[in-house]
């Protein structure tokens, strides 16, 4: 039967705590990414949004 | 290193092994809570909207940055902490956390919090967070804390930046309103701390830290507390008439400062003998009022914003 090493038993609380912190970090990164994409924070808009200001005047007149 | 090294019995080390709580203590949670509160106020009073999730995570990174400063401070001050009663049980002097671990944690959190605040909010806020960590660790802890009796004043500046970082996280700038909030905490710290130093027996002299009460005497400390209280009142009134203030803030500021100045005046015009006789009643009173003062002053900024069209000038 597999027996946990004494050190692992001793550090169980600490390891689970670290696990919780890492999971929390993942959730935060994911959440920030979702919010940023929805609000357009990361997108400069050069290739996704029409920017009339970038269109040359002659072209815009036609 | 082989597996055999894991079986070497080390009872003392095992008994004192660091828990998560010890690492949490390294981050100085009390100081962190003050940073969280003032940064949140800075974020809420900023004249722009922020997504609630981004706002909350920005506050988290500011708190972690404050925690990084705490860990780096504990790493550098371990020799001082070892000789003072109040700090002897901290994780490093008690032997539960290795100094190198505290240094690694502090540096890691400093980089993480700064980069994440830059990505979550903006790089202006991230710059000021990095500057705060640098200022508290290098300028205050490593240099001025051990060399000048104005260490309380200078250390207070590091604790004063969080509301400005919160403000910058929303607006990307640091206008006069943000600096006034910095000024408020900066002016508040010395009288707050000196009132405490006058009634709690601190053994800074054992650690050879040049505190004002020791280098310039207790009477001079009382006098200085009064002058800084006047400065505090002026900055406080400045915030009340600024863009984050309003009639309500002005009213609250007048009341808060009137009581504060009365306490500081009374504290100046008495001797240590008077203080001993009544159990340091005035000093304790001013210290407690200073806590109410800071909380109420920052809270009223938020109330002013919450009042919408009825708040502000």
- Asked whether this complex has an ipTM greater than 0.90, the answer is no
Contact residues, chain A, for B57 at CB < 8 Å: 28, 31-32
Which of A 2-61 lie inside 8 A of B, CB atoms?
5, 7, 10-11, 13-14, 17-18, 28, 31-32, 35-36, 39
| Closest Cβ opposite residue A28 in set B6, B14, B57 | B57
Nearest CA distance, B127 vs chain A (angstrom): 19
CA–CA separation, B288 and B296 (whole Å): 12
Contact residues, chain B, for A18 at CB < 8 Å: 20
| Closest Cβ opposite residue B19 in set A7, A13, A32 | A13
**Could you report the per-residue pLDDT of B138-185, keeping only the tens digit for each?**
999 999 988 898 888 888 898 999 999 999 999 999 999 999 999 999
Is the per-residue pLDDT at B200 higher than 80? yes
CA–CA separation, B193 and B210 (whole Å): 14
Average pLDDT, chain B: 91
Contact A7 B6 (CB under 8 A): yes
Concatenated DSSP letters for B159-226?
Answer: HHSHHHHHHHHHHSS--HHHHHHHHHHHHHHHHHHHHHHHHS---TTTTT---HHHHT-HHHHHHHHH
Nearest CA distance, A49 vs chain B (angstrom): 22
Identify whether the C-beta of residue B146 lies closer than 8 Å to the C-beta of residue B168. Answer: no
Domain limits, chain A: 23-62
A vs B: CB pairs below 8 A: 26
Stretch (H or E) spanning B238:
helix B218-240
Contact B17 A10 (CB under 8 A): yes
Contact residues, chain A, for B20 at CB < 8 Å: 13-14, 17-18
| Closest Cβ opposite residue B51 in set A11, A17, A39 | A39
Cβ neighbours of residue A58 closer than 8 Å, sequence gap 6 or more: none
Nearest CA distance, A11 vs chain B (angstrom): 8
Smallest Cα–Cα separation from B103: which of B84, B77, B128? B77
Smallest Cα–Cα separation from B39: which of B128, B109, B116? B128
By mean pLDDT, which of A5-19, B129-143, B232-246, B269-283 is the weakest? A5-19
Question: What percent of chain B lies above the pLDDT cut of 90?
Answer: 76
**Could you report the per-residue pLDDT of B87-128, keeping only the tens digit for each?**
899 999 999 999 999 999 999 999 999 999 999 999 999 999
Best of A11, A22, A35 to disrupt the B interface by mutation (most B CBs within 10 Å)? A35
Task: DSSP letter for B8, please.
Answer: S
CA–CA separation, B120 and B54 (whole Å): 6
Contact A32 B120 (CB under 8 A): yes
Once rounded to an integer, what is the mean pLDDT over residues B36-49? 94
Cα B157-B162-B167 angle, rounded to 5 deg: 125
């Amino acid at each position: 039967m597999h027996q946990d090493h004494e050190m692992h038993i001793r550090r169980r609380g600490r390891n689970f705590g670290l696990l919780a912190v890492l999971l929390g970090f993942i959730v935060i990164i994911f959440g920030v990414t979702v919010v940023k994409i929805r609000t357009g924070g990361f997108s400069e808009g050069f290739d996704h949004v029409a920017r009339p200001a970038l269109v040359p005047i002659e072209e815009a007149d036609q | 290193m082989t597996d055999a090294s894991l079986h070497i019995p080390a009872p003392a080390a095992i008994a004192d092994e660091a828990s998560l709580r010890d690492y949490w203590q390294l981050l100085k949670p009390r100081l962190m809570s003050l940073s969280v509160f003032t940064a949140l106020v800075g974020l809420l009073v900023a004249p722009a909207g922020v997504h609630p999730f981004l706002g909350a995570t920005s506050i988290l990174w500011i708190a972690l940055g404050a925690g990084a400063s705490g860990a780096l401070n504990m790493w550098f001050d371990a020799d001082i902490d070892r000789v003072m009663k109040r700090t002897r049980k901290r994780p490093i002097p008690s032997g539960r956390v290795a100094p190198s671990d505290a240094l690694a944690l502090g540096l890691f959190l400093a980089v993480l919090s700064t980069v994440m605040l830059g990505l979550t909010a903006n790089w202006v806020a991230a710059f000021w967070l990095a500057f705060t960590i640098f200022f508290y660790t290098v300028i205050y802890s490593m240099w001025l804390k051990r060399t000048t009796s104005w260490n309380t004043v200078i250390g207070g500046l590091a604790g004063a930046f969080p509301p400005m970082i919160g403000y910058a996280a929303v607006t990307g700038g640091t206008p006069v309103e943000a600096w006034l909030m910095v000024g408020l905490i900066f002016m508040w710290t010395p009288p707050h701390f000196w009132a405490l130093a006058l009634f709690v027996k601190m053994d800074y002299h054992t650690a050879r830290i040049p505190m004002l009460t020791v280098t310039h005497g207790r009477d001079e400390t009382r006098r200085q507390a009064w002058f800084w209280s006047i400065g505090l009142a002026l900055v406080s009134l400045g915030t009340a008439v600024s863009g984050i203030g309003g009639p309500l803030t002005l009213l609250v500021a007048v009341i808060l400062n009137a009581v504060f100045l009365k306490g500081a005046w009374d504290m100046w015009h008495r001797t240590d003998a008077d203080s001993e006789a009544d159990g340091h009643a005035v000093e304790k009173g001013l210290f407690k009022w200073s806590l109410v003062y800071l909380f109420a002053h920052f809270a009223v900024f938020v109330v002013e914003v919450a009042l919408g069209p009825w708040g502000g000038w």
